[in-house]
Structure 1
Amino acid sequence: MDETGSKRAFDVLDYTVFTCMLGVSALVGVYQAYKSRKSPDAVREYLVGGQTMSIFPISMSLIASYISGIAILGLPAEMYVYGTQLWAVVIADSFVSLTMVVVYLPVFYKLQITSSYKYLELRFNHVVRLMGSFIFIIKMLLYIPLVIYVPALAFNQVTGINLHMVALVVCAVCIYYTTLGGLKAVVWTDAIQTIVMFGGVIVVAILGTARVGGIAEVWKRNVDTGRIEFFNMNPNPTVRHTFWSVVVGNYLNWLATCSVNQAMVQRCLAMPNLKKSNITITIMAFGIISIVSLSCYTGIVIFAAFYECDPITTKQIRKPDQLLPYFVMELAQSIPGLPGLFVSGVFSAALSTMSTGLNSMSGVIYEDMIMPCLKTPVSNLAASRIMKALVVVMGSICVGLVFMVEKLSGLIQAGKSLSGITAGPLLGIFTLGMFFPVANSMGALIGGLVSLSFVAWISFGSQAAISTGQIVFPIKPVSVEGCPESLRNSATNLTIILENAIREQPFFLYKMSYLWYTWVGFLTVIIVGLIVSFITGRNIYKPEDKKLYTPIIHCFLRSKDNENSKDIELNKR
């Protein structure tokens, strides 16, 4: 790095690459809206693409939806600051796909419902369905602003353009094509954006490795500073990342995100049959593992590149989340169009997640909250207009919430902490219904509310303790020995500042690793739900309700079927 710190600016070619990506996304929305304008069932066309989607776009859409810009920027920053333990998350991701195919997806597919929360009404009652829908909306309203903030941060880093103005432009494009084209527009833009996303990450990883001097040198520099760590077997739940929290803890978080999420159910039901849905899930698993591994590898490449001159300590960037865009601009000195490709990749990841969220929220609000209040069914045209209006409204709310995101800690931790508030309760309610025939609606309702409140208290308390310096996580060592003299003089001993800032110990639950939040919420729903069900009168299993339960427990339900048939025969006699 030169002493002036001058870098290549975002030029005409970069803006052209970026504008083309946004333009293609908008055109796909227009095209899909035109194609589906004469559909006889506007609601089904808008939410599940008329159940005529093919494997490729749905697979790409699922990958893009669950790998947001938070992962693209946050995972490299995580590897740089804390080491590679979180990389073991790919183990959990493998088991999640298997669980989805065997346990949850068959239930939704047999019922053929366009809202996953319709299941809660069929199994429990309308009040529980409404609670599930509200929890989902809260989840998306907490998560989407983070997703918007990420690409805006990257764009601000490489161009200097105001972060909030960029966020507004991104959202406007996303709202536009999601509103016009529905699920088909979302899915096909996701497919294009996934390719761009992979392209951007792969190019940065290859060029970065070449700059450092090869994979062996990248690995050596990270080993020398203790960053390579995959099997920290410490059972202490307050340790931020261990093998147990990353693999076992995150397993449930991913399962909640994928298996009972409205976005997941919509896409799987867009496939013509269950077999194709299962193939799609398998491809999704390989895609997610690939992009997560690429992002993690990029993180150790970035550290190897800044091995002797840490840009955070020398105040060249403000936050670790800016490491990747900063590194891209370093690489871009001799590579035209690279910043444009990178920013397009990060925006692609964010746009796909946001569009999925907006499409899903519009479907949930319409089907679960508006339709039951309508005295007479509305026309297809009116239903379509209502859902499009909902996309605009929810998108605008998300833009307004972006301002609070800047106050949060690292992207990965903040994202998973906030998603943990709703992930555990939602997965718990669905699992209570699918696995426990004795559970009743009162148990599901009270269990869900208690779980949501409990995890929200822990999550917000933990974020507050982190922001005030009460909780500080040990970070891996960095160096400024190779920096120019002017940068070395600007470096501050941050460790001393942090140590002096700590005055009191936080409440013990606040110190628990954020990766266990989903388990806490999940188990709270199951335990409280079953206790309340037994107190208030357990649900009586009926053979005709068998399709409401996961195939895993059908072998136990057969004995109940036989008992019921014997009781009927005895009554007849």
Structure 2
Amino acid sequence: MEYSMEQIDKYFDIFDYIVFAAMLIVSALIGVYFAFFAKVKQNTTSEYLMGGKSMGIFPISMSLIASYISGISILGIPAEMYTYGTQFWMIIASEGFVSLAMAYAYLPVFYQLQITSSYEYLNLRFNQTVRLLGSVLFLTKMLLYIPIVIYVPALAFSQVTGINLHLVTPVVCIVCIFYTTLGGLKAVVWTDTVQTVIMFGALIIIIFMGTASVGGFSELWSRNVAGDRIDFFNFDLDPTIRHTFWTVTIGNFFSWMASCSVNQAMVQRCLATPSLHSARITVAVLVIGIVALESMCSYMGLVIYAFYYKCDPVTRGAIHKSDQLLPYLVMQIAQTMPGLAGLFVSGVFSAALSSMSTGLNSMTGVIFEDLIKPRMKKPLTESHASFLMKVVVVIIGGTCVELVFVIEKMGAALIQASGSLGAITGGPLLGIFSLGMFFPQANSYGALAGGLISGALITWISIGTQMKMAQGLIRFPQKPVSVEGCNANWIAEYLSLTLSPDATPKPVQPPFALYRMSYMYYTALGTVTALTVGLLVSYLTGSNKGKKIHKDLISPAVYRFMRETSDIQVTGSADTSGKIELNTVT
């Protein structure tokens, strides 16, 4: 197969713009419906943040799937397969275990307490200071994550339309802020549902067309085998290898536990269902959907390699980095199907919008419940509280739009660093919550020390690693690429060129061992550090001797292992309202 090395000059046509505009209009109208036309208006705290706790399994499941698959995943996973091979695909092996742990160890605690913010738990189990630490960690993560989620698909949109991202980013974000502000959780959930359908539809069509364009599945697979892309079971135990079976399964287990089990976005949606049984079914559907989407994105990486296996677009300068591979492929195969490019960009932006709307709604819940409400001298009326939360959404949304342009100035280095961003906050938070739920002897001193030291450690490792990578002292072996199939305009000396970054000489003095550790282990290390430090400090400060801990604050998974002693007593159950008073640990 011969490829042109010229840039693709086909941009969006009228059908593409119609498809993309329709997605935005439908999203906005959903917000208008729940604000003005729904039977139950979004003018109370319960309705605005929790959907009245009456949401169905299907929309909540679709919302969670859309929330956890961002534009970064849709563009980044195919690029990962193309560049490094299929080992990362094995992250799906651990996600079933995460769903079981979440459904039976963590979720019952939140459901029994019926709290709006997951960080209320930290106040109930420890104290207000630990709660504040958890809230700040979550808000920091989301304020950095949301702009990246929007920036990445904006780049793809700019690539396939020629429209400057400075124009499209505010427009798309304003639509998201609009429906999130007006419609609350119900609008977010139902727009996420529509956007999930768009994501699935776009990926399925592109997969079938891409597979057909390379001659079918057999030809696709043989090309990837010949290109050394098929690599599922590397059982090397070396923790410094970027991706092995162990790093992606063990590392992803802790990463997903941190993202799902104690994350405000997840807890808020699960508690919006009418029963714990419904919440557990929701989690099961979520895992099935995530595995399907991740597998489709991974398969797209194989499609891309099979399409360009003899003429790498990055090497020949058609695109600048691997994250642009999927949009570049779509624009080539879209020439035979009007509207396909618009559907693809709608799918990428749907993933981004769902992540943004979920982030705005969950951040609003945390700010209102954890930062504003405890400091109000008089309780707010429901109408005033609803209005205040809408103002908070607008302020946060505007801040995120501003930060998108800061992200742009920082360039690709920050995008690459975003993979370890979640671990900086995720590991400490998972450790703190696990201390409270599984270890009755853990006290507030231990939780605070464990969270701070864990966060500092992962931050140090993450920043140090990025600095060493920028200096060229840490490199990851990539799979070979070729340009021997490019057309005759290609420069003669590059014909039959096969690039292998692994051939770069290794530094004489290797970086510090923790800098060379696979980033997939960051969350696991953060969690273990928080637990170890937390238990040690708790022991040194007297644990919880002589104190009573409410039974509902401990996970049912450890009931059988606990013994009531004269030092620590686990007592009681929630009252008929499902609530327990603050400062239960006395």
TM-score where L is the length of structure 2? 0.92
Do the aligned partners of residues 354 and 40 (structure 1) sit closer, same or farther apart at CA in structure 2, a change above 3 Å counting?
A: closer
- The secondary structure found in structure 2 opposite 1:189 is helix
Residue 325 (structure 1) aligned with residue 327 (structure 2):
yes
Do the aligned partners of residues 271 and 78 (structure 1) sit closer, same or farther apart at CA in structure 2, a change above 3 Å counting?
A: same
Counterpart of 1:530 (choices 535, 541, 546) is 535
Residue 6 of structure 1: CA displacement?
A: 4.0
Do the aligned partners of residues 560 and 274 (structure 1) sit closer, same or farther apart at CA in structure 2, a change above 3 Å counting?
A: farther
- Name the stretch that deviates more: 11-20 or 377-386: 377-386
Residue 501 of structure 1: CA displacement?
A: 11
Distance 1:413 1:252 in 2: 20
Residue 315 of structure 1: CA displacement?
A: 0.8
Is the Cα contact below 8 Å between 1:7 and 1:330 reproduced in 2?
A: no
Q: Which residue of 1 aligns with 2:212?
A: 210
Q: Which amino acid aligns with 2:517?
A: M
Q: Which residue of 2 aligns with 1:136?
A: 138
Residue 553 (structure 1) aligned with residue 555 (structure 2):
no
Do the aligned partners of residues 494 and 33 (structure 1) sit closer, same or farther apart at CA in structure 2, a change above 3 Å counting?
A: same
- The secondary structure found in structure 2 opposite 1:486 is coil
Alignment of 1:217-232 (within 5 A): 217-232=219-234
- Name the stretch that deviates more: 500-509 or 62-71: 500-509
Q: Which residue of 2 aligns with 1:49?
A: 51
Q: Which has the higher helix share?
A: 1
Q: Which residue of 2 aligns with 1:184?
A: 186
Is the Cα contact below 8 Å between 2:479 and 2:500 reproduced in 1?
A: no
Residue 404 of structure 1: CA displacement?
A: 4.7
Alignment of 1:146-545 (within 5 A): 146-406=148-408, 407=410, 414-488=417-491, 499=504, 505-540=510-545, 545=550
Counterpart of 2:93 (choices 83, 91, 94) is 91
Distance 1:149 1:538 in 2: 46
Distance 1:499 1:259 in 2: 41
Distance 1:37 1:361 in 2: 26
Counterpart of 1:68 (choices 62, 70, 74) is 70
Distance 1:319 1:96 in 2: 33
Distance 1:501 1:403 in 2: 36
Is the Cα contact below 8 Å between 2:258 and 2:429 reproduced in 1?
A: yes
Q: Which amino acid aligns with 1:508?
A: A
Residue 231 of structure 1: CA displacement?
A: 0.8
- The secondary structure found in structure 1 opposite 2:233 is coil
Do the aligned partners of residues 360 and 497 (structure 1) sit closer, same or farther apart at CA in structure 2, a change above 3 Å counting?
A: same
Residue 169 of structure 1: CA displacement?
A: 1.9
Identity across aligned pairs (percent)? 57
- Name the stretch that deviates more: 370-379 or 551-560: 551-560
Residue 199 of structure 1: CA displacement?
A: 0.5
Q: Which amino acid aligns with 2:459?
A: A
Distance 2:570 2:237 in 1: 49
- Name the stretch that deviates more: 551-560 or 319-328: 551-560
Deviations 1:439-473 (Å, cap 9, x if unpaired)? Answer: 00011011101111110111122122223322211
Distance 1:30 1:541 in 2: 54
- Name the stretch that deviates more: 253-262 or 543-552: 543-552
Distance 1:108 1:541 in 2: 26
Q: Which residue of 2 aligns with 1:569?
A: none
- The secondary structure found in structure 2 opposite 1:115 is coil
Do the aligned partners of residues 490 and 277 (structure 1) sit closer, same or farther apart at CA in structure 2, a change above 3 Å counting?
A: farther
Do the aligned partners of residues 374 and 90 (structure 1) sit closer, same or farther apart at CA in structure 2, a change above 3 Å counting?
A: same
Is the Cα contact below 8 Å between 2:481 and 2:498 reproduced in 1?
A: no
Q: Which amino acid aligns with 1:466?
A: M
Distance 1:391 1:307 in 2: 46
Cα RMSD over matched residues?
2.4
TM-score where L is the length of structure 1? 0.94
Distance 2:440 2:45 in 1: 32
Q: Which residue of 1 aligns with 2:580?
A: none
Q: Which residue of 1 aligns with 2:583?
A: none
- Name the stretch that deviates more: 3-12 or 391-400: 3-12
Distance 1:379 1:52 in 2: 22
Aligned residues: 566
Q: Which amino acid aligns with 1:363?
A: G
Distance 2:206 2:396 in 1: 34
- The secondary structure found in structure 2 opposite 1:266 is helix
Is the Cα contact below 8 Å between 2:477 and 2:502 reproduced in 1?
A: no
Do the aligned partners of residues 489 and 14 (structure 1) sit closer, same or farther apart at CA in structure 2, a change above 3 Å counting?
A: farther
Residue 405 of structure 1: CA displacement?
A: 3.8
Distance 2:27 2:463 in 1: 36
Distance 1:230 1:496 in 2: 21
Distance 1:206 1:523 in 2: 43
Counterpart of 2:104 (choices 94, 102, 105) is 102
Do the aligned partners of residues 497 and 416 (structure 1) sit closer, same or farther apart at CA in structure 2, a change above 3 Å counting?
A: closer
Distance 1:534 1:113 in 2: 29
Which sections of structure 1, spanning at least 5 residues, go unmatched? 567-573
Residue 497 of structure 1: CA displacement?
A: 12
Deviations 1:355-382 (Å, cap 9, x if unpaired)? Answer: 0001100110111001111100111122
Residue 353 of structure 1: CA displacement?
A: 0.6
Do the aligned partners of residues 517 and 98 (structure 1) sit closer, same or farther apart at CA in structure 2, a change above 3 Å counting?
A: same
- Name the stretch that deviates more: 485-494 or 160-169: 485-494
Distance 1:446 1:37 in 2: 48
Do the aligned partners of residues 181 and 433 (structure 1) sit closer, same or farther apart at CA in structure 2, a change above 3 Å counting?
A: same
- Name the stretch that deviates more: 483-492 or 422-431: 483-492
Distance 1:61 1:564 in 2: 40
- Name the stretch that deviates more: 161-170 or 452-461: 161-170
- Name the stretch that deviates more: 158-167 or 423-432: 158-167
Distance 1:72 1:65 in 2: 12
Residue 433 of structure 1: CA displacement?
A: 0.3
